[in-house]
Structure 1
Amino acid sequence: PDVGRVTVLIRSNRKGSAVERFWQFAERSPAVRPLRKKLGRERFHAFLEEKVEVLEGDCGQPLCGLDEPTLEGLAETLDAVVHFAGLTDFEPDPLLGLLTNTFGGENAADVAARAKVPRFLHISTAFVAGNVSGHIEEAIEAGVSPNGTRFDPNAVATELLAELRDLETKRERIDLANERAEELGWPNIYTFTKGLSEHLHALRDDIDLVLVRPAIVESARNYPFAGWNEGINTSGPLVWLLSSWFRSFPANPKNHFDVVPVDTVARGALLVLAAQLRGEAEGVYHFGSSATNPLTFRRAIDLTALAARRMHSKDSATPFDRLVVKYMDAVPRGADKDHFPSLPFLRKVAQEGRRYLKDFRPKEQLPDAVYDRWGSALDDKIKKLSMDCRNADRTIGLVEDMLRLYRPFVHDNDYIFANDHVHALSQRLSPAEHELFRFDVNEVDWRRYWLDVHVPGLEVWCLPLLRNDRVEDDPPFPRPVRTSIASGVKVQAPESKPAPPRHRHEELR
């Protein structure tokens, strides 16, 4: 109730306008479920009409594609710009990654610079630290890369953009961007483009900048409900692999697995924004657990193996899973060590199996009497097995790529991110505020969280995507005729259409 108004910038796409996309999210996303349940249909829509303004724009455009009258209106009313948008794929097309993560951030900062008080809260990632190990301070030295190289971030970004535009294939662009990232000490395109964005912001003198760097964001502890997650995240492939009969994971068992629940990140972001509005914020905040409530990969793998035993004890598990896979141990292993069965071996088995099944023609290769009796059932079985092999091939290929991309974070580097700044804010809260807004990562009991919250959540929200299945949004939440959030014009809301279920390949895009 104390929030005046939140202005949300949303890009339109083929699925709808900015306003339509906002309402589809508000009415269907499980993240908004508690608010819908608390307020009910009429009050929910009235509340959002009152508190939220949707603007159609695009961070990829100068000044986010906003026209001058809109910018002038924002300049009078904005207290702060909070920039969450970004491309989180570790190996995207670098052209898109640079335009979204680097120049997109600058476009958002340009909007903040137009405000009377140009506050800009930028959500980055803790892994802009690059290829380093050990204690990572909450600081940034503009123009100095993770490996200590002094560089001009504006020159690097603009020159790379020009070079990328001259290359014809995505593979060529990825190779070039990875080469540039490695020269400066970043492990991949994602951290490189996010790091460049931070350095460009830090060199500006026309914004009040605060950087927030979450570590590995995972399932919610409490809000919107225990276990809520979205998409394929870092621990998803770990849990998927270790719950199968492939029971090894390429990680250094002693390294820190810096996990932070998503609702803890949300609490921290609100704390930092409030401090920035008071003029009391530090320049950089880490949101992580490694410094104060550490979880190692050894511990995470052991807990995952225990969670897998629970999964394979359910009535829905296959006899093979209940009698064999359930009792197999899970172990971390060196990323460069040979092992059996390896993912390439398993993928080849799936490919060869599908090739054999594709060439097998029961009607042509079996006696007529045999085919007449069992042919129809056999055809169906072959079709299903072929589909299973195809899905296994795709999924194993996906996991191979993920493990290659995750290697710097789970094997090569051991990060310990200081988080003193956000804990200091948490300690200053009043007793009433403390319950709602404290940064509570130190309260996480990793055994309970992993077994009772996180892995059960992944079973619902993540593992189906790795199996090439679908994850459904909440049922439609019908809305009345309402005022257009963007324009103030009375409009008849379009019918609530069932949102298409998220699919693994949509998550990758």
Structure 2
Amino acid sequence: MNNTPSAPASTENAEGAAPRSGGRRILLTGVTGFLGQAVLQSLLETTDDVHVTAVVRPKGSVAGQARLEQLLRKPVFSTWVERIGKDEATRIFGERVTALEGDLTDMPPLTEPYDVVIHSASSVSFDPPIDEAFRTNVGGARNLYEALLASGQDPHVIHVSTAYVGGISKGLRQEGRLVHDVDWRREYDSAQDARARVEAESRRPETLRSQMRAARLRDGRMGPKAVAAAAEAARRAWVDERLVDFGRTRAQSVGWTDIYTFTKAMAERVAEDLWAGAGHRVSFVRPSIIESALHRPYPGWIDGYKVADPLIMAYGRGMLQEFPGLADSILDIIPVDFVVNVIVALATQDVSRRGDDAYFQVVSGASNPLPFHEMVSAVREYFVTKPLEDDKGRPIVVPEWHFPAVEMVEQRFRAKEIAAKAGQKVVAYLPASRRTREWTSNLHKATTGLTTLRKYIELYRQYTKTEMVFDDANTRALRQELPASFLEQHDFDVTEINWRDYFQQLHLPAVTELTKAYSRAKAAQRTRAERPAPALKENADALAVFDLDGTVVATNIVQQYFAVVRATKPRRTWPGEIGGLLASLPGYLRAEQRDRSELIRLVNRRYEGYREQDLRELMNGELGRKIRASIRPEALEVIERHRAAGHRTVLVTGALDVLVEPLADLFDDVVATHMDSGADGVMTGYLATPPLVDEARGNWLRKYADRHGADLKASYGYGDSHADAAWLSLVGTPTAISPDLGLFSVAKKNRWRITDW
């Protein structure tokens, strides 16, 4: 490792090789992020002699260098590539940009000399688990500065932070070192310890019992392993939610709005203690809410939704009827190219600032304030003239906000949440049908939307109720020092921004296009799920596996039993049988909800005393013909199509084998339940083997496929029950047939085909 100070970029490096360019050498973190991409693009387009080394971690099988080269295909570089040509852009990129394979959580040694370090990497989520936030934002900064110290270099570090590092306050927020006595080392250690504490809490018996109860209610029909998996997933989600709460609450307890701003403040202290404290130069860039570009790389450029955009688009979709913000609060927004220009100025121009003069707030609130109500007015005007469309292509009418008190908005919102939850409970007890599935889907959308909106309200309320204004005196002074030739391409004078024009002509068209692209993708997914089944490919290795009840036939095992009663017992006994069945129905329904195999056992016990041969004769006669006639026409057509394609067709059912013999010729294999009989041929009421349902059917299917050399990924499955999800997930093409609400939810989540027969 090189422990000597960095030589100028024009000298040879430690290994004697000349640098690849004669200008400044810059180490850049966060290059794949929104700001990092724009910084790299600006350095390549507007300088001729800067070489950039970007810290990029491999992702899967894609190496860091390959990930870096992929950036050249992104929109941020499009205008530059078009102007100079693809070949020339590729050449310049290859000569002036290099990847340093690694990650700030595991920083590689810095063996090359650097004149400038731009640290823009961080987690930009407002509410991650506390340990993740500290590991990325604080631990990453610590690792970078320790690597720099170990290298013996003395580069100028440009540390990108946020204007909101000052925490919750009122009035003018000046530039300069933050005044607080929070120990970043102690906070970091506590945050990392939090996960172990919460993990231990999540394993307490009362916590686990609660999660297992919920998992049984939701996924019990899929089998015990599915219940265990769901309970464990719920435990992990509980841990993350608890750690998110830890972070939010800890941040607010020491005066910050959220864990993001808290950890960014701690990261500043890391830079001050480790780097500036060791006598090195560091400049802090504190942007406010970064949004789409005003000028460069082209007007309106943005890379995905940013901080304010989910709120804006929720309003445009008519989801936010009111919002508890202060109408006259200052919403501090800054175009991304203004932030880039300040960073490039500090990185490439001869600017010497230290101490409190080296903190640059790239903001608009002091010099060109944007009141919240003016932003809302501009947004409303845009969506009134250019409305978004709903799922049916109708224009969405946006509301007019009146900025009521927080309590009023909360009451209205809470009423909607209660109504949605009540609706879900009611629908859960209704019989499965096309209508109830539609209700379930609509209620799920409503509940998901309300959950998202509550997150938005909690997240953005602090930013739209602020009575804080960020000063930008240092940033304005920096601009005055820069040569006019530099400012021609890198100006950051916020007074030039006309906010109404910025939103209506640049930003809103950009984020609206993102929304429309997302909607088109969702519509394509729905189309794929709802389109007719594609033509089947001939494949002798494919299986076509069918459930019976509710899939191939519309009847169920209770109806099958009553059909046997009608065919074998005198009419005078029917009322008693019907009464007994009706009395047992509540128990059957509860058993069905708990475990389908329990229902199969309970119903099949009623065959005790029947002779197997008598039932077989019934199946060879009129009752068998009725069962054959009950096959759904759509099922018969699909079975025939699979057989024509050379697929091995298999019927798997919990019904008694003797009762499905009339269907045997339709399938290559029929796997059904067998009941023990005595020496006299009389059925005992007890099954010879456990019924093949839920995950038991899945285990059987794996073994069956192995035995027949079948390819499950090329195979097909058809089922109607939540219990069928366990084995449908094993085949490449699962289809939910007139599904119950449990299977409907699983199929929607996994984008399986759903159809009604």
Go from structure 1 to structure 2 and tell me whether the alpha carbon gap of 1:331 and 1:9 turns closer, same or farther (over 3 Å shift): same
How far is 1:298 from its partner?
Answer: 0.9
2:92 matches 1:56:
no
Listed as ranges, the matches of 1:47-446 within 5 Å are 47-61=92-106, 64=107, 66-67=108-109, 71-72=110-111, 74=112, 77-113=113-149, 114-141=151-178, 144-145=179-180, 150-168=181-199, 169-204=239-274, 205-206=277-278, 207-245=280-318, 246-275=320-349, 278-280=351-353, 282-312=357-387, 318-319=393-394, 321=396, 325=397, 328-338=399-409, 342=413, 345=416, 348-349=419-420, 352=423, 356=427, 361=432, 387=441, 389-411=443-465, 413-446=466-499
Q: 1:116 to 1:200 in 2, by over 3 A?
A: closer
Identity, in percent, stands at 22
Partners in 1 of 2:322 and 2:352 — Cα distance?
49
CA distance in 2, matches of 1:389, 1:228: 36
Q: Give the Å deviation of 1:304.
A: 1.2
* Aligned CA distance change for structure 1 residues 470 and 406 (closer, same or farther; 3 Å): farther
Residue 18 of structure 1 pairs with residue 49 of structure 2: no
Change (3 A) 1:312 1:151: closer
Cα distance, 1:348–1:7 mapped onto 2, change above 3 Å: farther
Could you tell me which amino acid in structure 1 is paired with residue 338 of structure 2?
T
Who is 1:31 aligned against? 76
Specify the code of the residue in structure 2 equivalent to 1:117. D
**Partner residue in 1 for 2:660:** none
Is 213-222 or 235-244 further displaced after alignment?
235-244
Query: How far is the alpha carbon of 1:22 from its aligned partner?
Result: 1.2
- Structure-2 change in CA distance of 1:466 and 1:81 (3 Å): farther
Aligned mates of 2:477, 2:469 — CA distance in 1: 18
Residue of structure 2 equivalent to 1:483: none
Kindly tell me: are residues 193 and 339 of structure 1, through their superposed partners in 2, closer, same or farther at Cα, counting changes over 3 Å?
closer
Q: Which amino acid aligns with 1:155?
A: R
Whichever residue aligns with residue 464 of structure 2, its letter is: V
Residue 337 of structure 1 aligns to a residue whose secondary structure is helix
> 1:367-402 deviations in whole A, cap 9, x for unaligned?
xxxxxxxxxxxx5x9877765654443343223212
Query: Which secondary structure does the structure 1 equivalent of 2:198 belong to?
Result: coil
**Contact in 2 for aligned 1:252/1:334 (Cα 8 Å):** no
Distance in 1 separating the partners of 2:330 and 2:520: 28
- Tell me how far apart the structure 1 counterparts of residues 481 and 351 of structure 2 sit (CA, whole Å): 13
- CA RMSD of superposed structures (Å): 3.1
Instruction: Classify the secondary structure of the residue corresponding to 2:323.
Output: strand
Instruction: For 2:412 and 2:517, locate their aligned partners in 1 and report how far apart those are by CA, in whole Å.
Output: 23
Counterpart residue number, 1:491: none
Paired position in structure 1 for 2:52: 6
CA distance in 1: counterparts of 2:256 and 2:104, whole angstroms: 24
State the AA in 2 paired with 1:201: A
For residue 320 of structure 1, report the CA deviation from its aligned partner. Answer: 5.7
Is the 2:311–2:456 Cα contact (8 Å) retained in structure 1? no
**CA separation in 2, counterparts of 1:208 and 1:196?**
18
Structure 1 Cα separation of the partners of residues 456 and 177 of structure 2:
28
Contact 2:313 2:512 in 1 (8 A): no
Relative distance call for 1:199 and 1:468 in structure 2 (3 A) is farther
Distance 1:252 1:415 in 2: 12
Q: Aligned in 2, Cα 1:10/1:462: closer, same or farther, shift over 3 Å?
A: farther
Per the normalisation by structure 2, the TM-score is 0.53
Q: CA deviation at 1:457?
A: 1.1
| Cα distance in 1, alignment partners of residues 389 and 251 from structure 2 | 46
Superposition deviation, residue 347 in structure 1: 8.5
| Residue of structure 2 in register with 1:452 after alignment | 505
Provide the secondary structure at the position in 2 that maps to 1:121. Answer: strand
Give the number of the structure whose alpha-carbon radius of gyration is greater: 2
Unaligned runs of 5+ in 2: 1-46, 200-238, 525-748, 750-757
State the secondary structure of the residue aligned to 1:273: helix
> Are the structure 2 counterparts of residues 159 and 310 from structure 1 closer, same or farther at C-alpha, using a change threshold of 3 Å?
same
Distance in 1 of aligned mates of 2:78 and 2:429: 45
Residue 136 to residue 462, structure 1, CA distance change in 2 (3 Å):
farther
Between the aligned partners of 2:192 and 2:119, the Cα distance in structure 1 is 22
> What is the number of residues matched between the two proteins?
433
Report deviation, 1:407.
1.7
Distance 1:354 1:383, change over 3 A: farther
Q: Once the 2 structures are TM-superposed, how far is the Cα of residue 124 of structure 1 from its aligned partner? A: 0.7
SS at match of 1:122: strand
1:72-114 deviations in Å (ceiling 9; x for gaps)? 3x2xx20011111111111101111111000101111223333
